[in-house]
Structure 1
Amino acid sequence: MYLGIDIGGTFIKYALVEKDYTITKKWKKETKLCETKDEFYDYLCEGLKELDVECIGVSAPGVIDSDSTVLSKAARNVQIMMYHCVNEEIQSRTKIKTATMNDAKAAGYCELMIGNGKGTSSSVYFVIGTGIGGCVCDRDGVIQGVNNIAGEFSNIPMGYANGKILGLSHLASMSALIDIYNSMSETQLTYGTEVCERYLANEEAAVKAMDQWCLNICLGLFSIVIFYNPEVICLGGGISEEDWFIDKVRETWNALERPFKDLTTTRIDRCLYNNDANLLGAVLYATKH
């Protein structure tokens, strides 16, 4: 039995995972804002020492180096993790071997090993949320890059204004969908699901916003195809579970006039393991490291 932990800005999720990588139990608790890293990790590890597990796999936000030190800021409730070694903190409290990787890379690793990227020699995982999570893989596993920032798709440059690079997250995240809709409608919405509902109801502003948003996503996908040319790009995030969305992106992709259109064979697919991908990927990584 293994334990997976997915540390997010809102919740910390836990899962007991069998050796065939099926989940037998899941639970979660709110991510508490802590004043010190010891308070944070004490809270994170409450009750874990008593579990009969071989190892712990951790999925965490931010840039994480090979020693599991967090090198960049993420959500406010987890910023206390910055510059500390996740493995050391958890192992010292639980006495259980621990391995940690970035959350989007964990999701991608899950898909590479047991999901819709299995058997490919090159694959990319494009996770649509508040930002754009990403993971680039070859047949050997996750490509980290020399500074562990490979796959930080939110920051793919899409423009430059006021002295700042406008990254892909400004145009292709769920947050961007809301912004695009609000710029086209007198009604101001708060959630991406509301835009999707209005799109499915064929509201004019929502249709225009969705068209623009999916085009932005495909421009990001084309950037990835040009610099890596993978066999498959798997879309993740809650919206990727919707068949209409996958169909819409594929339709936009096929209609996009682009160089090498008749030459490229990269498939656009969805992630097989969605909500559980971070947990399973972290466990898979821990069992092999």
Structure 2
Amino acid sequence: MGNYSLAIDIGGTFIKYAFIDQKLNIIKQWKKETKHFNTKDEFYDYLCENIDNHHIDLIGVSAPGVINEDSLVLSKEAKNVQTMYMTNINKEIELRLKRPTYSLNDGKSAGYCELMIGNGKGSQSSVYFIIGTGIGGCICYKDEIIQGVDRIAGEFSTLPLDFSPTKKGRFKRLGEIASISALIEMYNSRSPVPLKTGEDICNKYLNHDVLAQDIIHQWCKNIILGLSIIIMLYNPEIICIGGGISEEKWFIEKIQEIYKNETHIISDPIITTKIKACKYNNNSNLLGALLYAKKKLATSNNN
């Protein structure tokens, strides 16, 4: 049974799939729109439909939200995936595809990919800071993911920064000032012509637009605030920054430059934590979820 494994990355907009061989080569890749369903059975039927399981030996799943050790989804995320709330991902997929399945939070999947085969490989302590609509993440010690007692370790979006009341009636969170969503909100609050994407703002920055340059600089400082808190709490060997923006060389160089020249937490020679871009981006969730599934399967077989 099985010539390759299946990796699934469940997102609020798209569900991505990949057949991956034993050497982690992607044999086939495809995606489809994430649709809203009223029941969990409709959702999982849609997730698993038209998948030929004859050559699959293992399934690894990357999914949004807080997921406990038994793959129970403990938090509600984007509208299109809210039917997953309080469902057991592994059991639902195993019921339909008849193959062993293991699942992991999407930020942790991306981080685990970097830990095992990316720029965090070989480190004794590492953190993965994934910038997107929010900020996902993963904290690792050697080759283990630190999950936390409630499995929320690495949920950097909700890192509290200020307990002063906000418009939403709660404390300010890192995701509200350092995510791509925050970048767009920061720019549009000062521009007479609103922009829809972070890419649009970055293009203006690269074309020397004064407002975009000012906003990007402040946004990068907000990111570094989060990185500085992580460094003082955990002091890892390396922090790898992921998400689409991390593929831009100028962005990583700007983060490194501001961190070096404008942030002095304590005496510079003492802090040796490196800040780098992730090696994998587009496929990190898929690869990380599968690598995690392989490890869990091996552990299960040994027991």
Classify the TM-score, shorter chain: over 0.9
Secondary structure of 1:13's counterpart equals strand
Question: Are residues 1:54 and 2:80 paired?
Answer: no
What residue in structure 1 maps to residue 26 of structure 2?
A: 23
Question: Are residues 1:284 and 2:287 paired?
Answer: no
What residue in structure 2 maps to residue 74 of structure 1?
A: 77
List structure 1 runs of 4+ shifted beyond 6 angstroms: none
Question: CA shift at 1:50, angstroms?
Answer: 3.2
Question: CA shift at 1:286, angstroms?
Answer: 0.7
- 1:210 & 1:259 partners in 2: Cα distance? 22
- 1:112 & 1:58 partners in 2: Cα distance? 17
**Which segments of 5 or more consecutive residues in structure 2 lack a partner in the other structure?**
297-303
- 1:148 & 1:278 partners in 2: Cα distance? 18
Question: Are residues 1:212 and 2:222 paired?
Answer: no
Q: Given residue 27 of structure 2, which amino acid in structure 1 is its aligned partner?
A: T
Describe how 1:133-144 pairs up with structure 2 within 5 A: 133-144=136-147
- 2:104 & 2:75 partners in 1: Cα distance? 13
- 1:200 & 1:190 partners in 2: Cα distance? 17
Question: CA shift at 1:140, angstroms?
Answer: 3.0
Equivalent of 1:193 in 194, 199, 203: 199
What residue in structure 1 maps to residue 159 of structure 2?
A: 156
- 1:127 & 1:208 partners in 2: Cα distance? 23
- 2:203 & 2:263 partners in 1: Cα distance? 29
Secondary structure of 2:263's counterpart equals coil
What residue in structure 2 maps to residue 126 of structure 1?
A: 129
RMSD: 1.0
What residue in structure 2 maps to residue 247 of structure 1?
A: 253
Question: CA shift at 1:49, angstroms?
Answer: 4.8
Q: Given residue 229 of structure 1, which amino acid in structure 2 is its aligned partner?
A: N
- Identity fraction in percent: 55
Equivalent of 1:44 in 23, 44, 47: 47
- 1:41 & 1:185 partners in 2: Cα distance? 42
Q: Normalised by the size of structure 2, how large is the TM-score?
A: 0.93
- Residues 2 and 17, structure 1, Cα contact 8 Å, conserved in 2: yes
**Which segments of 5 or more consecutive residues in structure 1 lack a partner in the other structure?**
none
Tell me how many residue pairs correspond in the alignment: 289
Answer with 123-132 or 175-184: which moved more.
175-184
- Pair 252,237 (structure 1): closer, same or farther in 2 beyond 3 Å: same
- 1:34 & 1:19 partners in 2: Cα distance? 34
Q: Given residue 37 of structure 2, which amino acid in structure 1 is its aligned partner?
A: C
TM-superposition CA deviations, 1:5-52 (whole Å, max 9, x none): 000111110001111111111011111111110111111111235341
Question: CA shift at 1:134, angstroms?
Answer: 0.7
Secondary structure of 2:99's counterpart equals coil
